[in-house]
Amino acid sequence: MGKKAIISGITGQDGSYLAELLLGKGYEVYGLQRRASLPNTGRIDHLYGRKGFNMTYADLSDSSNLLRVIKKIGPDEFYNLGAQSHVGVSFDVPEFTVNTNALGPLRILETIRNLGLPIKYYQASSSEMFGKVLETPQKVTTPFNPQSPYGLSKVFAYHITKIYRTGYSIFASNGILFNHESPRRGQNFVTRKVTMGLSRISLGLQKTLRLGNLDAKRDWGYSKDYVEAIWKILQHKKPDDFLIATGETHSVREWVEEVGKHLGMKIEWKGKGLKEKGIDKKTGKIVIEVDPIHFRPNEVEFLQGDSSKARKLLKWKPRTTFKALAKLMTEADLIYVREEVAQGHPVTK
């Protein structure tokens, strides 16, 4: 019989790709779904009915429910991907963010400890923990300097995972993943916001796209490549902490230009600060404007990861470049937007 894995956050970007990966490897997958007033399973609807795929209600804020579910399933592996994952939103809902992202992992680890079962635990740690970076490129050994409630909640989760590993001999590992994107990325993260927005503009369905800090730089990879690393981390012979990144860094501005190219635009920048505009040279139209509503109280300006430890010990490396990522996401969103229009979705001019 195949291994059993629980995935929290299965309805999210990474959870959906990880579920596909594990099912392909013959796992029995148990996804944790939280209650929502509208369907929240769009990314995994295609998996219902597939052999080995199971879903159950659970919430990372509910210890008794986590205990019941983990005890009943008795998994070999627990992938904790569930989180309030939006950095900007974490300034608006800091307590909820900490409850889910910091205390959620503690609740799972306490359950594993109390049950005394040999469950391997994966914690979805984040490059956001490096915050205002103290070293470049960032390594597994680089000190953390978080700048948001989200970043700090993940620092707690990172350390509590290490503490349960060393204190109670639980196989508990951290994957410090740098930004990773895909056509399944939430639409309020900058890469997807740009691929969706510029696709709509190219089809004449929207006039401009309003963004925040255009100069922020990120080390962007592809979610499908990164879930392979997540799986490999729990297959490693001993629990440990790994950093997963491409090693390349690009600005939001470069992402906009690259996406624009795939839509036949040539975006040039005019003006400074809040007055800066991105103009499509081919049409002369303004396609990007700056809106301070998207600025954060504290910003993480720069991230670039050194994943040499994972490349050596896990034999993992990213396969998708920045340019390839922009191409695949833009192509997917052009189709997505056309389908939205065909289905009569409202057009936001």
Q: Cα 300 to the chain's mean position, in Å?
A: 16
Alpha-carbon distance values, 44 to 21, 55, 129, 215 (Å) = 12, 10, 29, 34
Pick the piece of the chain touching ligand NAP (CB under 6 A) from 76-84, 262-270, 282-290, 322-330: 76-84
126 forms part of the interface with ligand G4F (CB under 6 A): yes
213 forms part of the interface with ligand NAP (CB under 6 A): no
Contacts with 226 (C-beta within 8 Å, 6 or more apart), sequence order: 14, 177, 180, 244, 318
Partner touching 40 among ligand G4F, ligand NAP, none, CB below 5 to 8 Å by kind: ligand NAP
From candidates 29, 87, 98, 170, binder to ligand G4F by CB under 6 A: 87
82 forms part of the interface with ligand NAP (CB under 6 A): yes
On whether the CB atoms of residues 151 and 220 are closer than 8 A, the answer is: no
Pick the piece of the chain touching ligand NAP (CB under 6 A) from 3-11, 140-148, 248-256, 312-320: 3-11
Site string for ligand G4F, 221-260 (x = CB under 6 A): -------------------------------x--------
Closest approach, Cβ 99 to ligand NAP, in A, equals 8
When the beta carbons of 40 and 235 are compared against ligand NAP, the nearer one is 40
When the beta carbons of 90 and 111 are compared against ligand G4F, the nearer one is 90
The 3-class SS string of 298-319 reads CCCCECCECCHHHHHHCCCCCC
Instruction: Fill in the amino acid letter for 222.
Output: Y
Q: How far apart are CA 294 and CA 286, in angstroms?
A: 19
277 forms part of the interface with ligand G4F (CB under 6 A): no
Helix (H) or strand (E) holding 329: helix 322-342
Partner touching 294 among ligand NAP, ligand G4F, none, CB below 5 to 8 Å by kind: ligand G4F
Q: How far apart are CA 75 and CA 70, in angstroms?
A: 7
Q: Cα 94 to the chain's mean position, in Å?
A: 18
Contacts with ligand G4F, residue ranges (CB under 6 A): 85, 87-88, 126-128, 178-179, 188-190, 193, 211-213, 216, 218, 252, 294, 296, 299-300, 303
